[in-house]
Chain A
Amino acid sequence: MKTLSIVENAYRATLEEQDDTIVWLHGAMKGAGADLALLLRGNAVNYLVQRQEAGGLAFGDWRQTQPPRIASDLAALAAKGVDICYVAEDVTDRGIARNELINSAQPVARGAVAELLGRYDRVWYW
């Protein structure tokens, strides 16, 4: 069944996990043969910004060497055949320019979300 996952929650424990666990989950499910698409909305649209850089954290003498690289993770997901789209107004509202985003994500107007949901057998909200 074709499943659309709406992802809203952003930067929750991403530094601890060294990824976004929902994006990661979808990568794992895609690897298991799932037919998936992602719609990023709310603060999660910021995940598409290419210049995110979370490196450099250190706690005492422990240094984080594998910080989250969420835009790259999303681009990799798209390369595996997961359609990625985002709510266009949520990007604009946050003052993000389209040319800051990875290329593989497509905008969807806020008013077209209901129609998008209708194209999928299942809708999950994260």
Chain B
Amino acid sequence: MPKYLLIESRDPFDSNDTRFCCDLAQQLAAAKNEVTLFLVQNGVLPVRPGARSADLTSLAGAGVRVLADTFSLKERGIDEQRLASGVAAAPLDVVLDALAEGAKVIWH
């Protein structure tokens, strides 16, 4: 199964274009690809349960693995134990693992 890792460094409070990553992740998952959305930098800001976290939860429900960079969470004082449903904390190693495995890794 082809693997994709989409790295989202933007956040929906600042950029309307986070829609692109969510839509693409959903399309790729629907087409039977293994898809991870990795949130990094300000990309982690919507992971607190709140106004903009529902998209991430529904993405997880659509079969996309949604991960948030542990350092970016810590840097912003976001508690790893209190993330929106469907989102898990993960180290940046996930990106390197995906590159090493030959996944298509796309930085947005």
Contacts and interface: CB of A to CB of B under 8 A. Distances in A.
A110 B28 CA distance: 12
Contacts of A42: 17, 20
B2 A118 contact: yes
A57 interface: no
B106 A123 contact: yes
A125 interface: yes
B27 interface: yes
Interface residues of B, number: 15
Contacts, number: 31
B23 A117 contact: no
Interface in B60-108: 104, 106-108
A20 B33 CA distance: 33
A79 interface: no
| Size bracket, chain A contacts | 10 to 19
A82 B14 CA distance: 34
Given A42-B17, A113-B27, 15 more contacts: A6-B106, A110-B23, A114-B24, A114-B27, A114-B28, A115-B27, A115-B31, A117-B4, A117-B28, A118-B33, A122-B104, A123-B104, A123-B106, A125-B106, A125-B107
Interface of B: 2, 4, 17, 20, 23-24, 27-28, 30-31, 33, 104, 106-108
